[in-house]
Structure 1
Amino acid sequence: MKNLFLAASVLALCLSACKNENKATMETETIMATDTTATATDSIETTETPMDSVAMQKAWEAYATPSEPHKMMAEDVGNWNNEMTFWMGEGGESVKATSTAEINMILGGRYQETNYKGNVMDMPFEGKATTAFDNATKETVSTWIDNMGTGMMVLRGKYDDATKAIISNGNMVDPMTGKERQVREVFTIVDENTRKMEMFETVAGGSEYKSMEIVMKRI
């Protein structure tokens, strides 16, 4: 703020010299600039409460330290066989496929990384998912990329203890129309060695339909 005041004062002096304004006018402009700066400072101080160094350190430690949801994610670590079912649109026929998944915790147990490999419609399939639990927002954030597209899907959700499932929502782009579709994912912890992932899509102006299901069995 001091730098802002200095810059404003120098600018006022330069303009004053160029226009040959008298001393009284220059003093008035300086006072006005000072009052404006003070008002801006007051406004900032009323909207932001500065944190001391100890509080800042504690906040960052809490943000960076793996928590209970991270321990839950770590329970998925291992290798899995997947039975995959796809539905090509609402009421469409189903297509079956198989894949494997290798799940690891990375970056000191802060994130989950899953690598998928298999065959879908007689084509080699590879995909990568990352999952985070954000200690600040108390929500799960997941990303998905694969070799059948060039985009990235991002979902945000919450864990529902009653159903033992993470329910996430986001959007994806339909490459055929260029328009976004609403996406809902339900990742259910069935038991220690079984997981189920269900994907639901909503076409603009239409109803939600189930587009994918993956049943994962630990190897």
Structure 2
Amino acid sequence: MKISQISLLTLALLAALPLAAQDKPAKLTPEQQAMMQAWEAAAKPGEQHKQLAAMVGKWTTKQTMWMDPTAPPLTETGSATNTLVLGDRHIRQDFRSKWMGQPFEGVGFIGYDNVIGKYYSTWMDSGSTGIFVSHGDYDPATKTYTYLGEMADPASKGVKIPVRQVVRVVDNDHQVFEMFETRGGKEAKTMQIDYTRQK
């Protein structure tokens, strides 16, 4: 775009501002006001979001994975960085480690959905082209979040595997993540990640 065209566009926008300022906001009907209030309530961070904010920070991780119940588990170490995003409404986790000697990274989000009244967890990583989504609740007595979801199993042509995830807050500097899969009607622990806050 030429300079003269940019100047004309700028002048046109400046001329339109006083006209826009004279416009009065449209009066909302009671139904529209109720709709606006519902959306505002849905978007407002609450106590659950403040509680989750305790997970923000940098963590060192130790992963233990049970690939075969008859064999010793595989272990690996890594790191995770949790940051608040979108006006403190969600927490993003950036995870770095190795898997079978190769670099491994993942991105997850956790939060609380005001509309459905449930906590949520999502996960994507470099070992898959899909996304895992689960929802759950918090038990204040045990300081434990429990999420339920289904995973499409690549080794079984996408058959859905029930998954239960448990996050136990040991204290401000330690958390334990556990993952359980149900196959053939039997639930088995397949992964544990121990988080230690970096000082």
Tell me which interval the TM-score lies in, with the shorter structure as reference length: 0.7 to 0.9
CA 92–151 in structure 1, closer or farther in 2 if over 3 Å, else same: farther
What is the Cα deviation at residue 55 of structure 1? 2.0
Kindly report the root-mean-square deviation, in angstroms, between the aligned alpha carbons of the 2 structures.
Answer: 1.4
For residues 53-109 of structure 1, give each alpha carbon's deviation from its aligned partner in whole angstroms, at most 9, with x where no partner exists: 332222111110001111111111110000110001444420000110000010001
**Are the counterparts in 2 of residues 90 and 210 from structure 1 also a CA contact under 8 Å?**
no
* 1:121 paired to 2:139: no
Instruction: Give the corresponding residue for 1:211.
Output: 190
Instruction: Give the corresponding residue for 1:145.
Output: 124
Number of aligned residue pairs: give it: 169
Aligned counterparts of 1:61 and 1:101: Cα–Cα separation in 2: 32
Instruction: Give the corresponding residue for 1:188.
Output: 168
Structure 2: stretches of 5+ with no match in the other structure: 1-28
Aligned counterparts of 1:51 and 1:139: Cα–Cα separation in 2: 29
As a proportion of its length, which structure holds more strand?
2
TM-score w.r.t. structure 1 length? 0.74
Instruction: Give the corresponding residue for 2:12.
Output: none
Aligned counterparts of 1:86 and 1:70: Cα–Cα separation in 2: 30
Question: Residues 23-172 of structure 1 correspond to what in structure 2 (within 5 A)?
Answer: 52-172=31-151
SS of 2:38 mapped into structure 1 = helix
Taking every aligned residue pair, what percent have the same amino acid on both sides? 38
Aligned counterparts of 2:174 and 2:113: Cα–Cα separation in 1: 25
Aligned counterparts of 1:59 and 1:92: Cα–Cα separation in 2: 53
